[in-house]
């Protein structure tokens, strides 16, 4: 378990503090860890900022007290000289007060940026800790991630919370200092004033904390509102938003979702109106009574004119602790992201990030590093699924139900089946993005559960149906397949040439250094088919970099049938010594594989070569004939009831 998260839980339990207060404590504890020098500088600036008003009050009081004597003694007298000295001191303190604010703001902003970068790095590390991806498909976990990204905290960032802390902390210290001034005159006056101010500040901040809690609980609605807003702002959906006239609908839905999220906040504010009114009334009564007592003491001659001036200023200054501003909101909400990051670290520590099957990488799980020859002496090389069962969270049935399948090393296997048959799920299990609930997967006789995930994944190259189009240079889009060789131009060009995209890349404005997105200056946009060839080049680059298992999950859907068949024919030739797993709906491509597997209801229904499966005259032969008829003009026989949906393969 993460030590920071454990300490957070203990601190909250012992002190009984609210989540927002806990966030502020964690934020303050984080500052010296991020930058000791900047934190120390900010601490000094905060202390000086708090002290200057106290000094100014004392100097002003002394100035007021010295004026009558200076007037009586006349210009040039020692009394006048002393008054001028006090005036100079007061003016200097006043100027320092004006100068230190911007300096404090610059230091706080710089430290805030470092804090934000530190938290973002920890958040990225925490989210990437689990071996699988189940946590990224869990709505509750996504809400937590959104909270850590400031969604649900009014959009205030930790950097703004640091700046707010630098503005609010001096006010807290000033209130205590002014209360001590009052206590030096009458102890009960200082203690009573401070007690009332602390009580009033507690009431006001409690209401803020309630809104923070309610808003954090509305993260799902705010996440949905943010999504609707982004649909109107980002390029990807722009065409359909305009084509279908969705702008007004999106605006109305965004307003409705946002209002739904904020309705609870408004309700909490109304609920706390009475408590706030009581706090304000008590504050005003105490303030008026304190001023009246100071005036009475002055009239009775109990205090000098200088002391009276100090007392009046101190009574006003003691109220600084309960002054509320936008800084209080920034501090309360901006700091709330800090415990959210720590909680994510705790929940995701050890790879326990989701509830879809066993979480890969959990603590105590044995690990075995496969040796250099990538074979276990006790078994024939290859991949084997042994009675594998898997069900997604909240699904009514198993996606894979006792599946057993063997994939010989160095051979090509095509997997076909109806939508929902489990083809992509099988691939995700092989990549260890999920763990099976029953059965096991072995590679060269070694269970995947006993291997280091990083070691296994260096052996696997996968291009999924929803492959990523990185808005980065073409060099990176291909080089990500094997980062250790990403600067090897010979390998990059060989992979691009094999995927049929080298000419396209070389003709880009900056060649390999061209960013593949028009959102960036000098960038270029590729067509769907060109993107798919870039993704294939990435897979080939991984294979060239040492991967010996190549997975292709419908990566060429944007190519026409002939182009896809030609590409795969050369592709399978290039990767003939690599274990290749292909998922495709086009049988002109599937038939090129050395082995073909038909999945049905989460199990292997048929297995063999193209010729063997055609001779079997089973499901594969039926689907092949249905698809082939579209190209030769024949009319396929009417399918039996229940087969229409499966014929879509």
From start to end of 425-548, where are the E strands?
438-443, 446-447, 460-463
Strands 382-390 and 400-408: antiparallel
- Which SS3 state, helix, strand or coil, does residue 549 take? strand
CA dist., res. 30 & res. 33, Å (int): 5
pLDDT at 371: 39
Q: Taking each helix axis as running N to C, give the angle between helix 187-217 and helix 158-185, from 0 to 180 degrees, rounded to the nearest 10.
A: 160
CA dist., res. 233 & res. 155, Å (int): 17
- 633 within 8 A of 406, measured Cβ to Cβ: no
- 30 within 8 A of 22, measured Cβ to Cβ: no
pLDDT at 162: 92
Q: Residue 254: count other Cβ atoms within 10 Å of its Cβ.
A: 19
HSE value, Cβ hemisphere, 13 Å, CA-based, for 496: 26
pLDDT at 404: 92
Kindly report the backbone phi and psi dihedral angles of residue 415, in degrees, each rounded to the nearest multiple of 5, phi listed first: -115, 125
- 355 within 8 A of 134, measured Cβ to Cβ: yes
Q: Residue 501: count other Cβ atoms within 10 Å of its Cβ.
A: 24
Q: Which CATH class is domain 3-351?
A: mainly alpha
pLDDT at 152: 43
Give CATH superfamily name and number for 379-459+549-649: P-loop containing nucleotide triphosphate hydrolases (3.40.50.300)
pLDDT at 248: 84
Length of the chain: 649
Per run of 10 residues, the mean pLDDT along the chain (length 649 residues) is 46 52 83 93 94 90 85 82 88 92 93 90 86 82 77 66 90 89 86 84 72 65 81 79 79 84 72 75 83 85 84 85 71 79 81 45 39 42 90 86 90 87 89 90 89 85 85 92 90 91 93 90 88 89 86 72 67 76 81 88 90 90 82 48 36
- 461 within 8 A of 481, measured Cβ to Cβ: yes
CA dist., res. 247 & res. 379, Å (int): 60
pLDDT at 70: 82
HSE value, Cβ hemisphere, 13 Å, CA-based, for 602: 14
Contacts of 118 (CB under 8 A, 6+ apart): 30, 33, 34
Q: Residue 576: count other Cβ atoms within 10 Å of its Cβ.
A: 12
- CATH number listed for the domain at residues 468-547: 3.40.50.300
- Tokens (6 digits) for 400: 């894979």
**Do the domains spanning 379-459+549-649 and 468-547 agree at the CATH topology level?**
yes
Write out the H or E segment, with its range, that includes residue 607: strand 603-608
Helix/strand/coil percentages in the chain, nearest 5: 65, 10, 25
- Tokens (6 digits) for 575: 């990767």
Count Cβ atoms within 10 A of the Cβ of residue 594 and give its class: 0-12 exposed, 13-18 middle, 19 or more buried.
middle
pLDDT at 102: 92
pLDDT at 509: 93
pLDDT at 504: 94
Domain ranges, ordered by start, for the chain: 3-351, 379-459+549-649, 468-547
pLDDT at 360: 42
Helices (H), 76-235: 78-128, 139-148, 158-185, 187-217, 219-233
**What does pTM read for this prediction?**
0.67
């Amino acid at each position: 378990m993460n030590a920071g998260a454990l300490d957070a839980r203990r601190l909250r339990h012992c002190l009984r503090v609210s989540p927002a207060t806990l966030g502020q404590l964690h934020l303050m504890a984080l500052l010296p860890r991020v930058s000791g020098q900047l934190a120390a500088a900010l601490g000094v600036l905060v202390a000086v900022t708090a002290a200057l008003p106290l000094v100014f009050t004392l100097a002003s009081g002394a100035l007021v007290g010295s004026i009558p004597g200076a007037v009586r003694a006349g210009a040039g007298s020692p009394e006048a000289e002393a008054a001028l000295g006090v005036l100079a001191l007061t003016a200097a303190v006043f100027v320092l007060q004006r100068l230190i604010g911007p300096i404090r703001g610059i230091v706080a902003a710089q430290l805030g940026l470092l804090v934000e970068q530190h938290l973002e790095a920890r958040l990225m590390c925490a989210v990437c800790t689990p071996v699988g991806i189940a946590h990224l498909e869990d709505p509750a976990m996504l809400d937590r991630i959104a909270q850590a990204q400031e969604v649900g905290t009014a959009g205030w960032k930790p950097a703004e919370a640091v700046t707010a802390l630098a503005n609010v902390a001096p006010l807290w210290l000033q209130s205590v200092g002014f209360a001590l001034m009052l206590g030096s005159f009458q102890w009960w006056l200082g203690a009573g004033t401070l007690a009332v101010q602390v009580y009033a500040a507690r009431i006001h901040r409690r209401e803020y904390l309630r809104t923070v809690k309610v808003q954090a609980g509305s993260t799902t609605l705010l996440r949905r509102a943010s999504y609707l807003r982004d649909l109107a702002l980002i390029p990807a959906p722009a065409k359909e938003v305009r084509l279908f006239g969705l702008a007004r609908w999106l605006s109305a839905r965004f307003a409705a979702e946002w209002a739904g999220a904020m309705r609870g906040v408004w309700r909490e504010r109304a609920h706390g109106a009475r408590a706030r009114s009581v706090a304000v009334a008590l504050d005003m009564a105490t303030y008026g009574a304190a001023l009246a007592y100071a005036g009475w003491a002055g009239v009775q001659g109990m205090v000098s004119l200088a002391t009276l001036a100090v007392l009046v200023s101190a009574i006003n200054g003691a109220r600084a602790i309960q002054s509320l501003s936008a800084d209080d909101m920034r501090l309360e909400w901006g700091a709330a992201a800090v415990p959210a990051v720590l909680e994510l670290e705790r929940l995701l520590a050890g790879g326990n990030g989701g509830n879809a099957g066993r979480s890969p990488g959990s603590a105590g799980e044995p690990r075995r590093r496969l040796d250099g020859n990538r074979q276990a002496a006790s078994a024939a090389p290859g991949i084997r699924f042994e009675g594998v069962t898997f069900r997604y969270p909240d699904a009514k049935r198993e996606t894979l139900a006792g599946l057993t399948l063997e994939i010989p090393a160095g051979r090509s296997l095509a997997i076909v089946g109806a939508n929902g048959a489990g083809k992509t799920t099988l691939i995700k299990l092989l990549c260890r993005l999920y763990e099976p609930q029953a059965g096991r997967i072995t590679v060269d006789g070694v269970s995947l559960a006993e291997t280091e995930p990083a070691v296994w994944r260096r052996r696997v190259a996968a291009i999924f149906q929803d492959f990523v189009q990185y808005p980065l240079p073409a060099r990176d889009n291909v080089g990500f397949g094997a980062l250790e060789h990403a600067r090897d131009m010979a390998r990059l060009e060989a992979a691009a040439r094999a995927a049929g995209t080298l000419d396209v890349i070389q003709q880009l404005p900056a060649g390999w250094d061209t960013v593949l997105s028009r959102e960036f200056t000098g960038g270029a946009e590729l067509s769907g088919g060109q993107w798919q060839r870039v993704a294939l080049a990435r897979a080939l680059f991984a294979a060239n970099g040492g991967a010996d298992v190549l997975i292709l999950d419908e990566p060429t859907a944007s190519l026409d049938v002939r182009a896809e068949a030609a590409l795969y024919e050369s592709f399978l030739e290039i990767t003939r010594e690599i274990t290749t797993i292909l998922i495709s709906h086009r049988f002109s491509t599937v038939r090129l594989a050395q082995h073909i597997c038909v999945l049905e209801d989460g199990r292997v229904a048929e297995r063999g070569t193209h010729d063997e499966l055609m001779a079997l005259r089973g499901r594969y032969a039926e689907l092949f004939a249905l698809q082939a008829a579209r190209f030769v003009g024949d009319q396929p026989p009417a399918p039996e009831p229940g087969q229409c949906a499966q014929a879509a393969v």
